[in-house]
Chain A
Amino acid sequence: MNKKRQLIFRCAAILLVIALAVVMFVIGRGHTIYFDNKACEYGGKSYDAYYKVTVVKDKEKVAKLAEDERGMADLMGQKLTVTLEITDKKGEEPHSHKVSMPIPYSMDGVVINVPLLMAGQSADAYMSEFVPIATPEEDEEEEVVIDEFEMTDDV
């Protein structure tokens, strides 16, 4: 009886740890969000870029975009909530919009086109996956250093 109880407790502990790992997988997923303030065409209609867009996340300004600029912010989790402070034309007062959207789990980097988002288009229109292009430095062959028998400063 005692052994059976012990086994039950052990199984429960393992299940608990697995559940915790799953929760960490979901809540800890990191994304890099790129905000594009660029003019674009969609569905035969063209959308102009704004004069200035300021992206505020968690009360912190994470990006300030002029026309045709891109800014980025890091996100943890699957839901992005930001406030966009948009200035349509030079000299005009900015207007704020709080936007919230789900971010696909599979995407590391997500590009969001601000004019399309503000035009009320679907997620397929304003959201796309960011595909990084390897830099020449990244492509350079790296010599693997395996043995190091000295104590460096980084201890």
Chain B
Amino acid sequence: MNNKKKFDFRQASVPVMFIIICAICIPLSGLSPKMLINEIVTRMGRNSFLILSLLIPIMAGMGLNFGMTLGAMAAEIALILVCDWQIVSVPGMILAAIISVPISVLLGIFCGNILNRAKGREMITSYIMSFFVNGIYQLIVLYLMGKVIPIKHSSIKLPRGYGIRNTVSLLSMRQKLDNMLAINIAGVKIPVLTFIIIAIMCLIIVWFRKTKLGQDMRAVGQDMEVARDAGIEVEKTRIISIVISTVLAGLGMIIYLQNMGNIATYTAHSQIGMFCIAALLVGGASVDKASIGNVFLGVVLFHTMFIVAPRAGAYITGDSMIGEYFRVFVSYAVITVALIMYETNKRKAKSAASMELAAAQDSEDSKKSAD
């Protein structure tokens, strides 16, 4: 028996394509290696935790969790409140995490319950649900904050007296986590503490896969009916996976925003879901299979493309907007291709199974007629 895993060329095609794009664009961009590495390391620290939050729902067979934006919204609400209370630096981030967790849990339970009612259509349901919850978020942030929820500072509040400004400054928290224990190697700043947190998260995910709950999730992901027959509470397991993902997305969003140093109040969360999913897919993940390796490869390739594409576009066409359009086009295209590939594979598997069944029935019929 050959136990070696078969190399999946189709799966590897997306990372290979991105490696080629990056290899062409890097020299054209004219960026120095030091600057490029600096940017990539910064973005790795900024985004990896968020993308790791997508792994658990994939394990539970729920596909790409577009509902991760719910966790991002919870984190933003928590950060706005913490900002208004003037809790600064790392304590501010810890307090924001503490506030965001219960909000994320509630949103996760809500999301999980809805997704249980839409089995097989989790991705589109979670995508549309993120729009729905975005509406509620806007209601809270645009109308209730300042009117019902007390907001004291005019630097956060809109001049009309209620609602939050388009941008909330997080200057008091900016890169506080990244700068703690940071080291400089040949001009490249390494945010050691952020990487330690990400590494701990990776270890937790590896450990979690081996736990009873992790095994249950994998069983549910492979076949819900078989898992149910084996005594696993399928619905509960799926809800837990979404809750964990939402909570992690919230924590990841806090790490992301502390690096940025400001909150784009009404748009940050909607962008986050898209580019995290795109980065994971660029790393070679698919809708039903993703690993920690895919996360890091995805962050490096996707963000290298993000950094170099506008400059390369400017060099080739004389217009940096071409590079800008290109990276947006590629980001959405990679998600579309992944979804098409997933659906095609699913249909192929389904038709292969029905062909097998038909062949088995035919042979049974021919046996009966021979008798």
Contact = CB atoms under 8 A, between A and B. Distances in A.
B271 interface: yes
Contacts of B159: 138-142
B227 interface: no
A142 B166 CA distance: 8
B328 interface: yes
Interface string B55-78: 000000000000000000000000
Given A30-B172, A76-B89, A142 B165 contact: yes
Interface residues of B, number: 41
A74 B275 CA distance: 35
B21 to A, nearest CB: 16
A73 B331 CA distance: 43
Contact of B87 (A25, A139, A141, A148): A25
Overall SS of chain A's interface: loop
A90 B89 CA distance: 39
A93 to B, nearest CB: 36
B142 interface: yes
A138 B95 contact: no
A74 B88 CA distance: 10
Contact of B328 (A20, A108, A150): A150
Interface residues of A, number: 33
A25 to B, nearest CB: 6
A134 to B, nearest CB: 6
Given A141-B160, A155-B306, A30 B89 contact: yes
A27 interface: yes
Contacts of A23: 91
B163 interface: yes
B19 interface: no
A146 B138 contact: yes
B165 A30 contact: no
B15 interface: no
A22 to B, nearest CB: 10
Nearest to A137: B159
A75 to B, nearest CB: 9
B328 A28 contact: no
A30 B95 contact: no
Contacts of B43: 155
A142 B269 CA distance: 20
Interface in A129-155: 132, 134, 138-148, 150-155
Nearest to B90: A28
Contact of B86 (A20, A27, A30, A153): A30
Given A24-B98, A29-B86, A74-B88, 9 more contacts: A25-B95, A28-B87, A138-B154, A141-B160, A144-B166, A145-B266, A146-B142, A147-B267, A151-B331
5 contacts: A23-B91, A140-B159, A151-B331, A153-B306, A153-B310
Pick the 7 closest A-B CB pairs, nearest first: A28-B91, A30-B88, A28-B87, A24-B95, A148-B267, A24-B91, A21-B98
